[in-house]
């Protein structure tokens, strides 16, 4: 993409409403614009990151055997009456009346609706287990939306729902998501720790939050230090096999959110391994058995023709929230530092003398080569001076910058800067192209 043809409206000043780094940088880097409290337009740069995260989440769901579908944003109130949640859910539920005075709502979550979809079609134990997911916009009418997309009202979420015949197989479904989540967050560049968590309005008796550590985290968390750097299971995990050992390895050590914290248990962790820190929730998984399937009569016939109420779990990842979470984890005072897996563009090309024949030609050569190689570069072809271009590129945080100016070109060289380390090297055009291409190879 050529910057002159892109829509990248940067802000010069830090907006007053931004109290945390991700909110500040997302506004300054032209990633989002607030339309009204807690509701955002995703400008092109922000939208690209959102889509990349969504795609990684999707790929890891598919790998774990979950099947994608899509439920609507607007739901009929009847479904929520069946489970008693229509009245139980507080003012965070956006209630709507349509032109025929029917009661509707903008879905804050989908347990009730997916249970209805399931019971409409599935009759036999032979069709179990089922694991279905969707990636859809949700709405929670927060009393005080804040922290930008981290606590917005309209937000994008991946939610998966599992249906099993027995508690044992339901536990296996839970484990699949547990492992898929570890792999998902690792691909996003994040160190997410699964922690025992409260089940809140979803309900159930088994639940883990996946937490990334960040000073600006919304809640306090407590865990064994070794969990933070424990490697993810890896993409070659056999999801058809038994995953219990992988899960046990990560649940044997202490890790808990504030709500479930047990100070006495935590005290048993060796003192030099005790970690108490601020954390950001990026995923949350629940096993809740028959909480929805019982009132909604989601049953299947077992081998003996006897009706069995299915056992369910639900598994969420905050896709739009992750954009903020990743920035909280990766930034410096100059701006964002994107992990390669979610960067909106693979590299930036800075033309230090737009209009100069040689510089333009060199930039075009690099732009064309990187485009062909699938690196998807952003080419700053505007007429601004170097200082403006450098700080703009640092702010939007692409992993590599290729700086092309008349001085370097005299010896046939350009400068390649690594945004994370700040390291710079002078390379020939070809070497620069190869270096960046191989970084994504």
Which residues of the chain form contacts with a second copy (CB under 8 A)? 5-7, 9, 30, 33, 35-36, 39-44, 47-48, 50, 65, 67-76, 78-79, 91-92, 94, 96, 98-99, 102, 104, 106, 113, 116-117, 120-122, 130, 132, 134, 137, 139, 141, 143, 153-154
DSSP code for 231: P
Q: Which is nearer to a second copy, 4 or 425 (CB)?
A: 4
In the complex, least distance from residue 21 CB atom to a second copy, rounded to whole angstroms: 22
Other beta carbons within 10 Å of 63:
17
Strand partners, 158: 135, 317
Say if CB 326 and CB 282 are below 8 A apart: no
34 burial level (CB within 10 Å; 0-12, 13-18, 19+): middle
Residues 6 or more apart from 66 whose CB is under 8 A from it?
Answer: 131, 132, 133, 160, 176, 177, 180
Q: Which is nearer to a second copy, 334 or 382 (CB)?
A: 382
Q: Which is nearer to a second copy, 50 or 296 (CB)?
A: 50
Q: What is the DSSP string of 278-324?
A: EEEEEEEEEEEETTTTTTTT-EEE-TTS-EEEPEEEEEEEEHHHHHH
Name the residue among 421, 381, 371 with its Cα closest to residue 399. 421
Q: Which is nearer to a second copy, 90 or 234 (CB)?
A: 90
Give the count of alpha carbons within 13 A of 391, CB side only.
Answer: 12
Which helix (H) or strand (E) segment holds residue 351: the answer is strand 347-351
Strand partners, 163: 130, 312
In the complex, least distance from residue 328 CB atom to a second copy, rounded to whole angstroms: 22
Q: Which is nearer to a second copy, 141 or 364 (CB)?
A: 141
In the complex, least distance from residue 104 CB atom to a second copy, rounded to whole angstroms: 8
In the complex, least distance from residue 204 CB atom to a second copy, rounded to whole angstroms: 23
Q: Which is nearer to a second copy, 111 or 116 (CB)?
A: 116
Q: Which is nearer to a second copy, 130 or 293 (CB)?
A: 130
Q: Which is nearer to a second copy, 202 or 323 (CB)?
A: 323
In the complex, least distance from residue 422 CB atom to a second copy, rounded to whole angstroms: 30
Instruction: Please state the length of the chain.
Output: 441
- The single residue listed with the structure tokens 């950001």 is 280
Using left for φ > 0, alpha for ψ between -120 and 50, and beta otherwise, residue 397 falls in left
- Strands 307-309, 311-318: pairing kind: unpaired
In the complex, least distance from residue 386 CB atom to a second copy, rounded to whole angstroms: 19
In the complex, least distance from residue 239 CB atom to a second copy, rounded to whole angstroms: 11
In the complex, least distance from residue 45 CB atom to a second copy, rounded to whole angstroms: 9
Residues 6 or more apart from 176 whose CB is under 8 A from it?
Answer: 64, 65, 66, 131, 239, 243
In the complex, least distance from residue 331 CB atom to a second copy, rounded to whole angstroms: 23
Q: Which is nearer to a second copy, 118 or 400 (CB)?
A: 118
Which helix (H) or strand (E) segment holds residue 391: the answer is helix 386-396
Query: How many angstroms separate the Cα of 216 from the Cα of each of 49, 148, 150, 177, 304?
Result: 21, 13, 11, 27, 55
Q: Which is nearer to a second copy, 232 or 310 (CB)?
A: 310
Other beta carbons within 10 Å of 6:
16
In the complex, least distance from residue 171 CB atom to a second copy, rounded to whole angstroms: 19
Say if CB 185 and CB 232 are below 8 A apart: yes
DSSP code for 244: H
Q: Which is nearer to a second copy, 102 or 273 (CB)?
A: 102
In the complex, least distance from residue 33 CB atom to a second copy, rounded to whole angstroms: 6
Q: Residue 240 corresponds to which tokens in the numbers above?
A: 């058809």
In the three-class reduction of DSSP (H, G, I as helix; E, B as strand; rest coil), residue 207 is classed as strand
């Amino acid at each position: 993409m050529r910057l002159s043809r892109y829509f990248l409206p940067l802000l010069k000043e830090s907006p007053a409403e931004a109290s945390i780094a991700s909110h500040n940088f997302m506004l300054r880097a032209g990633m989002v614009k607030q339309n009204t409290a807690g509701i955002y337009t995703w400008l092109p740069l922000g939208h690209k990151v959102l889509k990349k995260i969504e795609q990684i989440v999707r790929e890891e769901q598919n790998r774990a055997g979950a099947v994608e579908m899509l439920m609507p944003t607007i739901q009929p109130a009847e479904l929520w009456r069946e489970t008693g949640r229509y009245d139980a859910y507080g003012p965070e539920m956006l209630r709507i009346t349509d032109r025929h005075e029917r009661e509707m709502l903008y879905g804050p979550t989908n347990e009730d609706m997916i249970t209805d979809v399931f019971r409409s079609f599935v009759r036999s134990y032979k069709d179990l287990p089922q694991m279905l997911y969707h990636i859809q916009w949700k709405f929670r009418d927060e009393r005080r939306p804040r922290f930008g997309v981290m606590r917005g009202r309209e937000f994008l979420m991946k939610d998966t729902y599992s249906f099993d015949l027995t508690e044992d197989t339901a536990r296996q479904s839970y484990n699949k998501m547990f492992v898929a989540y570890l792999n998902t967050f690792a691909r996003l560049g994040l160190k997410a720790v699964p922690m025992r968590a409260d089940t809140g309005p979803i309900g159930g008796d088994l639940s883990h939050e996946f937490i990334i550590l960040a000073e600006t985290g919304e809640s306090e968390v407590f865990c064994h230090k070794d969990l933070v750097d424990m490697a993810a299971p890896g993409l070659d995990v056999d999801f058809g096999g038994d995953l219990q050992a992988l899960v046990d390895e990560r649940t044997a050590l202490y890790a808990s959110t504030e709500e479930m914290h047990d100070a006495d248990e935590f005290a048993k962790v060796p003192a030099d391994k005790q970690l108490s820190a601020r954390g950001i929730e990026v995923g949350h998984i629940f096993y809740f058995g028959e909480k929805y399937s019982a009132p909604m009569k989601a049953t299947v016939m077992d081998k003996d023709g006897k009706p069995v109420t299915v056992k369910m779990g639900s598994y969420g990842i905050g896709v739009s929230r992750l954009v903020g979470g990743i920035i909280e984890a990766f930034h410096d005072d100059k701006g964002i530092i994107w992990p390669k897996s979610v960067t909106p563009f693979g590299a930036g090309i800075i033309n230090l003398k737009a209009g100069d024949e040689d510089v333009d030609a060199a930039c075009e050569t690099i732009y064309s080569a990187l485009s062909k190689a699938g690196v998807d570069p952003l080419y700053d072809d505007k007429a601004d001076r170097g200082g403006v271009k450098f700080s703009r590129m640092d702010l939007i945080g692409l992993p590599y910058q290729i700086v092309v100016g008349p001085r370097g070109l005299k010896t046939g060289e350009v400068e390649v800067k690594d945004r994370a380390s700040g390291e710079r090297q002078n390379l020939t055009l070809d070497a620069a192209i190869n270096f960046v291409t191989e970084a994504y190879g």
